[in-house]
Amino acid sequence: MKLSNSNPSIVFSAAHMTVREDGTPVLEFIRYRLMSDDSATVTVQTHFPRTYDVITEKRFLTASWLMV
């Protein structure tokens, strides 16, 4: 696959309902971004299911996700 972007990456996401440890139902959106330098970013947003108001947002960066 050839990408013409100056910073090529593959991005995909998932969403699901879950229950927090305190019993509160939440909606989680997870975004994965895999970059050409073998690093990855994962962003997790947690929302109230009725209003979609953001409860938390966390971002994780891994230096290298590909093990050779």
Q: In which domain, by residue range, is 30 found?
A: 9-62
Residue 58 contacts residue 44 (beta carbons within 8 Å): yes
Q: How confident is the model at residue 48 (pLDDT cuts 50, 70, 90)?
A: very high
Whether 14 is in a domain gets the answer yes
Q: What is the mean pLDDT of residues 43-63?
A: 89
Q: What is the mean pLDDT of residues 38-43?
A: 87
Domain count of the fold of the chain: 1
Mean pLDDT of the chain: 85
Whether 31 is in a domain gets the answer yes
Whether 15 is in a domain gets the answer yes
Whether 44 is in a domain gets the answer yes
Report DSSP letters for 4-67, one per residue. Answer: -SSS-EEEEEEEEEEE-TTS-EEEEEEEEEEETTS-EEEEEEEE-TTT--EEEEEEEEES----
Whether 57 is in a domain gets the answer yes
Whether 4 is in a domain gets the answer no
Whether 45 is in a domain gets the answer yes
The whole-angstrom separation of Cα 21 and Cα 28 is 14
Residue 31 contacts residue 42 (beta carbons within 8 Å): yes
